[in-house]
Amino acid sequence: MTVTKPEPAGCEAATSTGLTIVPPPSLERVEPSLTCTAQGAREGVVTGEGFLDIDGALPEWTIAEAPAALIELENCDALEVEGYTQVRWCRQARVTWPAETPALNEGGSIQPTIGVTNPQPAGCGVEVTGPLTVAAPPVVNAAEPPIVRATEGPRTVTLGGRDLLRVGTALPAVSMSGPDGLPIALEVVRMAGACAPVEVASLEVERCDAIEVIVPAAALDAPYQPTLTVTNPEPAGCKVTASEVLTLVPAPRLDAVTPSQGAPRWMARSLKARRRGASTSSRAPDSRCSHPAGFGERFVE
């Protein structure tokens, strides 16, 4: 630093100690660049330059103007600053993004503002938008078909809702509770319904409102509604459970047939003819009587 007196004095003095000037911090990227905070706090690593530790005083972080907790600074170099015991210049910060920040009550996604302010006496800060995308959790509220006969073999079912994510080639994970309460993993066939791209730094992400899965065959004694669990792929990772959108029913079964008003007239005539040794084919059954509709079947309303 040089101090020069004005003319006509014109003398000057220079020193190389006493003042350290640093540029403001910069933010380059956030890893992971996609997250979901609706179901709990999530951790991220911010890479940039100039995150200062001044004798234990650390930078303050924000997401969508809400405070975010700094876990630790990493990749640091020491700075010699007169009057301070330890000053570190760091390039990475491990940060906790708080739960439900930002809130996405209507679903979708948002790229919130990420901010950092260095401690005094440096005091400079920066805010950026784009390195991080926060996605809403998935929603499942329908199944097509809504009723499946589980004993007929594997069936393709479309689960409908919103905010079902494909991250790269990774699809949501889907499971359902079995009759014994244990989870059964379902094969995911493909994303379905209306889909749209989601802007995420360094990742290819698609958001859809339906997904096709295969429900395996199962032996059932009675109808039941399994609890479905759908989890978006990492690094989003939020999930949803739904228990009233799909009904599995057993195979039909006929236990007994009891005529309500005795045997049909044609059957009685046939039995009499057989007792006499006569042919039973001489007369057709009464046209008003017929084999019961759905004989051997169970009907589900």
CATH number, domain with residue 110: 2.60.40.10
Do 113 and 152 sit in the same domain of this protein?
A: no
Residue 37 near residue 133 (C-beta atoms within 8 A): no
Q: Identify the residue whose tokens are 């220079």.
A: 14
Report the pLDDT value the prediction gives residue 166, as an integer from 0 to 100. 98
Report the pLDDT value the prediction gives residue 252, as an integer from 0 to 100. 80
- What's the whole-model pTM score? 0.79
Question: Is residue 287's pLDDT more than 80?
Answer: no
Do 36 and 104 sit in the same domain of this protein?
A: yes
> The CATH number of the domain where 211 resides is what?
2.60.40
Do 173 and 213 sit in the same domain of this protein?
A: yes
Question: Is residue 230's pLDDT more than 50?
Answer: yes
Residue at a domain's end among 102, 135, 168: 135
Do 99 and 148 sit in the same domain of this protein?
A: no
Question: Is residue 67's pLDDT more than 60?
Answer: yes
Rounded average pLDDT over 88-114: 96
What b/e string do you get for 61-98 counting C-beta neighbours within 10 Å, with b at 16 or more?
A: bbbbeeebebeebeebeeeebeeeeebbbbbbbebbbb
Report the pLDDT value the prediction gives residue 7, as an integer from 0 to 100. 77
Instruction: State which residues form the domain around 85.
Output: 21-135
Of 71 and 278, the structure prediction assigns the larger pLDDT to 71
Report the pLDDT value the prediction gives residue 293, as an integer from 0 to 100. 42
Q: What is the mean pLDDT of the chain?
A: 87
Report the pLDDT value the prediction gives residue 160, as an integer from 0 to 100. 98
Do 176 and 197 sit in the same domain of this protein?
A: yes
Question: Is residue 284's pLDDT more than 70?
Answer: no
| pLDDT tens-digit map of 148-203 | 998 878 999 999 999 999 999 999 999 999 988 899 999 999 999 999 999 999 99
Q: How far is CA 294 from the centre of its chain?
A: 43
Strands 34-35 and 133-135: parallel
Q: Rounded to an integer, what distance in angstroms lies between the CA atom of residue 276 and that of residue 285?
A: 18
Q: Is residue 213 part of a domain?
A: yes
Alpha-carbon Rg for the chain, nearest whole angstrom, is: 36
Kindly indicate the confidence band of residue 138, based on its pLDDT and cuts at 50, 70 and 90.
very high
